[in-house]
């Protein structure tokens, strides 16, 4: 009996020792180092995620303006400056026509010299009554008709010259040749498509906005856009207020100039689905979820105070919350994982 009593005393002493050691350790444990962020009040609206596509402002199928054999065409992937030749059509027939039209014009001009002299001669004779007025009028008419023939000949030469210029198919804007629609050696007809040119610099995002939410969006608004590589804040350039009967949506265009987005790429666009309202916001990293409870730790007198919150909605790395917080509070965003209510902390 005496031995059992002794054992019981020893066990009680051990428990007391452990309690004292743990208490002293907790008191001597240095404060946890944490990162904090301010609670802020912002005007925010819940968002709906929509799928958009990156498109080019200029995407053209280039056609030939003269007929002939295709002598040369650019390589796919090549960049062409505005006005630079994309393709070359055989111009031998046009060169021959230019020679013929030029010779015809010179012949008419030589004939005009004779017609002018005829008018002068009949004018002189008519003044001396040695020629009838009818003869003079006929000479003048023949000269004037020849004048018009010369005008027509000059227009024909201009048309041939234009054809010679157009035998070198120019790029209507700076862009990349993305597709060959004809090959070297093929005979090309007027208007036939020969290549596709795409402006890879001036790009936009086309996104369908459900008609239920279209009134919540305005020209000039900035929307968050996410790709597989990055996130952007892009401005709404314009809204096409014409709904599609099948999708019940209208198109919005967002300027994407200066981004690394690729034409044809799919992106996520976050558009408002309700009117904005003033809410308290905190960084997403401040949330601590344990079981069914969501809370944050705010710093009060260098100690961690636990505050239960309800998440209204997320907006990127920011979340709107409701709880016993104010816009003057600071919440812990790094180092809250092992904290307990009342733990001493030091802000970094």
Give the DSSP per-residue string, 84-147: -EEEEE--HHHHHHHHHHHHHHHHHHHHHHHHHHHHHHHHHHHHTTSS-HHHHHHHHHHHHHHH
Per-residue pLDDT reduced to its tens digit, 275-310: 888 989 999 999 998 888 899 999 998 888 999 999
Q: What is the pLDDT of residue 267?
A: 95
Percentage of residues of the chain with pLDDT beyond 70: 89
Per-residue pLDDT reduced to its tens digit, 214-237: 999 999 999 999 999 899 999 999
Checking DSSP bridges between strand 231-244 and strand 222-226, what pairing results, if any? antiparallel
Question: 3-class DSSP state for residue 3?
Answer: helix
Q: What is the pLDDT of residue 252?
A: 94
Q: What is the pLDDT of residue 131?
A: 60
Higher pLDDT among residues 8 and 92, named by residue: 92
Higher pLDDT among residues 190 and 21, named by residue: 190
Catalogue all structural domains in the chain, each as residue range(s) with its CATH number. Answer: 31-44+278-347 (2.40.420.20), 47-57+202-273 (2.40.30.170), 59-87+172-199 (2.40.50.100), 91-166 (1.10.287)
pLDDT band at 7 (very low <50, low <70, confident <90, very high): low
d(CA 89, CA 67): 7
pLDDT band at 70 (very low <50, low <70, confident <90, very high): very high
d(CA 304, CA 32): 10
d(CA 8, CA 119): 148
Percentage of residues of the chain with pLDDT beyond 90: 45
Are 277 and 237 within 8 A, CB to CB? Answer: no
Contacts of 74 (CB under 8 A, 6+ apart): 80, 86, 87, 177, 195
* CA trace torsion 116, 119, 121, 125 (10° rounding): -170
Q: What is the pLDDT of residue 291?
A: 84
Q: Which residues pair with 293 in a beta bridge?
A: 290
Question: What angle (nearest 5°) sits at the alpha carbon of residue 86, between those of residues 99 and 91?
Answer: 15
Per-residue pLDDT reduced to its tens digit, 240-284: 988 888 888 999 999 999 899 999 999 999 999 988 889 899 999
Q: What is the pLDDT of residue 268?
A: 94
Return the top range by mean pLDDT from 16-25, 126-135, 161-170: 161-170
């Amino acid at each position: 009996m005496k031995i059992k009593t002794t054992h019981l005393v020893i066990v009680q002493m051990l428990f007391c020792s452990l309690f004292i050691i743990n208490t002293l350790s907790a008191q001597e444990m240095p404060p946890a180092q944490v990162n904090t962020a301010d609670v802020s009040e912002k005007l925010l609206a819940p968002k709906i995620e929509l799928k958009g596509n990156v498109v080019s402002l200029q995407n053209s199928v280039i056609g030939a303006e003269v007929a002939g054999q295709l002598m040369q065409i650019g390589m796919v992937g090549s960049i062409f400056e505005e006005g630079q030749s994309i393709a070359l059509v055989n111009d031998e027939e046009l060169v021959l026509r230019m020679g013929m039209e030029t010779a015809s014009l010179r012949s008419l001009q030589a004939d005009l010299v004779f017609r002018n002299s005829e008018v002068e001669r009949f004018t002189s004779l008519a003044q001396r009554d040695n020629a009838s007025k009818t003869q003079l009028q006929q000479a003048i008419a023949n000269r004037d008709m020849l004048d018009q023939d010369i005008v027509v000949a000059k227009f024909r030469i201009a048309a041939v010259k234009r054809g010679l210029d157009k035998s070198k198919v120019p790029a209507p804007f700076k862009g990349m040749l993305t597709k060959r629609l004809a090959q070297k050696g093929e005979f090309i007809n007027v208007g036939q498509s020969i290549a596709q040119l795409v402006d890879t610099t001036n790009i936009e995002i086309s996104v369908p906005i459900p008609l239920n939410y279209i009134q919540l969006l305005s020209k000039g608004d900035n929307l968050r856009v996410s790709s597989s590589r990055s996130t952007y804040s892009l401005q709404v350039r314009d809204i096409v207020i014409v709904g599609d009967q099948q999708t019940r949506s209208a198109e919005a265009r967002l300027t994407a100039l200066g981004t690394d987005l690729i034409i044809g790429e799919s992106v996520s666009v976050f558009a408002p689905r309700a009117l904005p309202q003033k809410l308290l916001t905190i960084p997403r990293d401040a949330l601590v979820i344990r079981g069914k409870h969501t809370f944050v730790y705010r710093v009060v007198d260098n100690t961690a105070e636990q505050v239960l919150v309800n998440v209204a909605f997320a907006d990127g790395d920011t979340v709107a919350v409701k709880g016993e917080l104010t816009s003057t509070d600071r919440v812990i965003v790094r180092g809250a994982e092992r904290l307990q209510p009342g733990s001493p902390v030091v802000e970094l």
